[in-house]
């Protein structure tokens, strides 16, 4: 330990201490002292599909590009998987389930899953840089959150693999079979680990399709699956468009399907598999209320509001996108928030000082921009700190709207961007009513000094997670999932693992 700490110290650039202290003014951030992450993401020019333990070209022979939203440059090309590839992946997964993985004692499966976790840790910096380049999220987040949390999910579930009988005492706990999984672009590696780790721990085999905006860390994880020596077919990664995901979800070989993405696509999938007897979990959209009372420690609450909505550029299903603030402190909170937003650093995702990186794609940027226009048209007041848009890349400054009513689109629909809609309330009953006045129910936040308020709200808010005096806190032991149109089933913890098991 001592050696590596010393080594770290001496390898720091000598110029670092001589740098001028950065001035915290928005528009100038691109002019001085970028502190780019330099670890090599080890990207290949082309990535194939991972089927039956091998990297194979797609049956159709076509490829698509993944770009870096931070600078609009092409990063790599990826196999465009289609129906024939999904068929091959499902056949490989079925074979693996019938002949190796599905029959393996839990303590043996655990060894492989621990190995995945350790190999991911070994390559953590490389994965963090690759994820930041593919998705646009700040390196600080991929380095300190996405990648370590993904490894933590593998460690946690490896620990369960030989203890499944304790999930449901008195019942027989068995795997389900082949699981089809489709994940979104906002936490590509983390969502992949939320899906694969519990499935493998329970003894299932998987075919997973990552989002086409952010497929790179999924195929890099396939390299780790290969290096860890998992039996062929236990994990299969098929990159490709949404239609390939649709084909996978409806495939007769998948006994269970797990989807994370928009409510809209979730409904399409549910309709397409209705009546086929598949086990199903859906992690869908959200429009969380973050509720601040007058007795809350306001500076902490402001940090929580910022983290709640600007983490990952607000492209978070459980983002605190509706701020409900107690009337007596509303002006004060908005003033403090504006001061804080003026010093948030928006820009190059690879800069270690960046707080807000790039939006994932041009389409997503345009969609968010459409919501900004609608907010203004419907009469809300928009505020952004001073911002100079870089010449390339998909950037948007943190944006807040005041004067928002519940009927405004920006208060009802999931924007999935760095946009906060601020509403006020007078009584706790009004706060509950407004918070629950949504088709979604994934998460909520409460900021107050009073335990009684926290207890009341945590029972009355229709949300899968209610954070008190914090926001966006995750842990593999803690189940996550929605109410209402935010989905059903849980991921994480004992409850999440049960969703990958057959109980008899
Ligand atoms: P999306 O458009 O629903 O896409 C999600 C995934 O589904 C992608 O891999 C996509 O492929 C694929 N897909 C598209 N059409 C499909 C179809 N007809 N059948 C099967 N798969 C299909 O969502 P997104 O824009 O990537 O992600 C943002 C959404 O995810 C937000 O609504 C957010 O709230 C939600 N989300 C929820 C959670 C949660 O845990 N509740 C977590 C993260 C995100 P392509 O990429 O190739 O189109
Ligand atoms: Mg990309």
90 is catalytic: no
Per DSSP, the residues of 258-314 read EEES-HHHHHHHHHHHTTS--EEEEE-----EEEE-TTS-HHHHHHHHHHHHHGGGG
The Cα 235–Cα 226 span in angstroms is 9
- Looking from the CA of residue 487, the nearest atom of ligand 1 is 41
Sheet holding 322-326, edge to edge: 381-383, 399-402, 419-425, 322-326, 289-292, 443-447, 465-468
Q: Is 380 helix (H, G, I), strand (E, B) or coil?
A: coil
Ligand nearest to the CA of 133: 2
Q: Is 31 helix (H, G, I), strand (E, B) or coil?
A: coil
Instruction: Supply the angle between the helices 242-250 and 263-273 in degrees, to the nearest 10.
Output: 40
> What pLDDT is recorded for position 18?
46
Separation in Å, CA 397 to CA 139, 314, 332:
18, 11, 22
Per DSSP, the residues of 62-83 read -EEEEEETTTTEEEEEEE---H
Q: What is the DSSP letter of 45?
A: S
264 is catalytic: no
- Of 344, 354, 389, 350, the closest CA to residue 369 belongs to 389
Half-sphere exposure of 470 (CA within 13 A, CB side): 5
State whether the beta carbon of 43 lies less than 6 angstroms from ligand 1: no
CB 137 within 8 A of CB 349: yes
CB 429 within 8 A of CB 453: no
Total residues found in the chain within this entry: 504
46-284+486-503 CATH: 3.40.605.10
Q: Which one of 37, 131, 283, 485 is the catalytic residue? A: 283
Distance (Å) from CA 488 to ligand 2 centroid = 28
Half-sphere exposure of 147 (CA within 13 A, CB side): 26
State the residue for tokens 């693996």. 96
> What pLDDT is recorded for position 184?
98
Q: Are strands 381-383 and 399-402 parallel, antiparallel or unpaired?
A: antiparallel
> What pLDDT is recorded for position 98?
98
Nearest CA to ligand 1 atom 23: 261
The Cα 424–Cα 295 span in angstroms is 15
Residues 6+ apart with CB under 8 A from 425: 291, 324, 325, 326, 327, 431, 434
Separation in Å, CA 136 to CA 70, 121, 349, 421:
5, 21, 6, 23
Backbone angles phi, psi at 291, to 5 degrees: -105, 120
Nearest CA to ligand 1 atom 14: 242
Q: Are strands 54-56 and 49-51 parallel, antiparallel or unpaired?
A: antiparallel
CB atoms within 10 A of CB 383: 16
CATH class entry, domain 289-468: alpha beta
- Best probe residue, ligand 1, of 262, 283, 499 (max atoms within 8 Å of C-beta): 262
Q: Is 179 helix (H, G, I), strand (E, B) or coil?
A: strand
Ligand nearest to the CA of 180: 1
> What pLDDT is recorded for position 34?
59
State whether the beta carbon of 219 lies less than 6 angstroms from ligand 1: no
The Cα 164–Cα 105 span in angstroms is 11
Name the strand (E) or helix (H) holding 46: strand 46-47
State whether the beta carbon of 481 lies less than 6 angstroms from ligand 1: no
CB 311 within 8 A of CB 420: no
Q: Which one of 37, 126, 141, 317 is the catalytic residue? A: 317
State whether the beta carbon of 241 lies less than 6 angstroms from ligand 1: yes
Q: Are strands 443-447 and 289-292 parallel, antiparallel or unpaired?
A: parallel
Ligand nearest to the CA of 43: 2
- Looking from the CA of residue 249, the nearest atom of ligand 1 is 20
> What pLDDT is recorded for position 497?
98
The Cα 257–Cα 379 span in angstroms is 42
pLDDT digit string (tens) for the chain, length 504 residues: 333 434 444 444 444 444 444 333 333 344 445 577 888 999 999 999 999 999 999 999 999 999 999 999 999 999 999 999 999 999 999 999 999 999 999 999 999 999 999 999 999 999 999 999 999 999 999 999 999 999 999 999 999 999 999 999 999 999 999 999 999 999 999 999 999 999 999 999 999 999 999 999 999 999 999 999 999 999 999 999 999 999 999 999 999 999 999 999 999 999 999 999 999 999 999 999 999 999 999 999 999 999 999 999 999 999 999 999 999 999 999 999 999 999 999 999 999 999 999 999 999 999 999 999 999 999 999 999 999 889 999 999 999 999 999 999 999 999 999 999 999 999 999 999 999 999 999 999 999 999 999 999 999 999 999 999 999 999 999 999 999 999 999 999 999 999 999 999
Residues forming a β-bridge with 382: 401
CB 313 within 8 A of CB 185: no
The structural domains of the chain, with segments of one domain joined by +, span 46-284+486-503, 289-468
State whether the beta carbon of 315 lies less than 6 angstroms from ligand 1: no
Residues 6+ apart with CB under 8 A from 441: 286, 462, 463, 464, 482, 483, 484, 485, 486
The Cα 231–Cα 96 span in angstroms is 7
């Amino acid at each position: 330990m001592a050696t590596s700490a010393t080594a770290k110290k001496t390898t720091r650039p000598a110029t670092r201490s001589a740098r001028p202290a950065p001035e915290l003014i928005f528009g100038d951030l691109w002019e001085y002292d970028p502190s780019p992450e330099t670890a090599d993401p080890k990207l290949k020019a082309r990535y194939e599909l991972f089927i039956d333990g091998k990297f194979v070209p797609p049956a159709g022979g076509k490829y698509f590009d993944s770009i870096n939203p931070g600078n609009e440059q092409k990063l790599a090309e990826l196999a465009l998987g289609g129906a024939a590839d999904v068929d091959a992946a499902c056949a490989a997964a079925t074979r693996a389930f019938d002949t190796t993985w599905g029959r393996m004692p839990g303590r043996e499966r655990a060894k492989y899953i621990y190995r995945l976790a350790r190999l991911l840790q070994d390559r953590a910096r490389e994965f963090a840089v690759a994820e930041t380049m593919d998705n646009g999220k700040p390196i600080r987040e991929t380095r300190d959150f996405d990648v370590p949390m993904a490894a933590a999910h593998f460690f946690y579930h490896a620990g369960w693999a030989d203890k499944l009988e304790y999930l449901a005492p008195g019942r027989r706990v068995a795997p389900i079979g082949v699981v089809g999984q489709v994940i979104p672009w906002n936490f590509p590696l983390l969502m992949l680990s939320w899906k694969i780790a519990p499935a493998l721990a329970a003894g299932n085999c998987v075919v997973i399709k990552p989002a086409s905006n952010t497929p790179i860390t999924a195929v890099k994880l396939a390299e780790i699956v290969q290096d860890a020596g998992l039996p062929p077919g236990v994990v299969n990664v098929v990159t490709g468009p949404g239609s390939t995901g649709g084909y996978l979800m409806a495939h007769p070989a998948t006994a269970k399907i797990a989807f994370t993405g928009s409510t809209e696509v979730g409904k399409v999938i549910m309709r397409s598999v209705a009546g086929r007897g598949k086990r199903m979990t859906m992690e869908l959209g959200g429009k969380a209320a973050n509720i601040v009372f007058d007795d809350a420690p306001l500076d902490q609450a402001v940090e929580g509001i910022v983290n709640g909505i600007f983490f990952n550029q607000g492209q978070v299903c459980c983002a605190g996108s509706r701020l409900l603030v107690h009337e007596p402190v509303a002006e004060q909170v908005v003033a403090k928030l504006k001061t804080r937003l003026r010093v948030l650093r928006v820009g190059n995702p690879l800069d270690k000082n960046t707080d807000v990186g790039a939006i994932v794609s041009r389409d997503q940027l345009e969609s968010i921009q459409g919501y900004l226009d609608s907010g203004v048209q419907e009469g809300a007041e928009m505020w952004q700190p001073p911002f100079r848009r870089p010449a390339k890349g998909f950037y948007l400054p943190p944006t807040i709207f005041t004067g928002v009513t519940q009927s405004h689109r920006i208060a009802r629909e999931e924007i999935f961007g760095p946009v906060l809609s601020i509403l006020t309330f007078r009584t706790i009953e009004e706060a509950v009513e407004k918070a629950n006045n949504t088709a979604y129910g994934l998460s909520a936040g409460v900021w107050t000094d009073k335990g009684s308020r926290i207890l009341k709200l945590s029972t009355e808010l229709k949300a899968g997670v209610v954070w008190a005096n914090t926001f966006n806190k995750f842990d593999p032991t803690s189940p996550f999932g929605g109410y209402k149109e935010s989905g059903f089933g849980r991921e994480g913890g004992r409850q999440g693992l049960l969703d990958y098991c057959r109980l008899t």
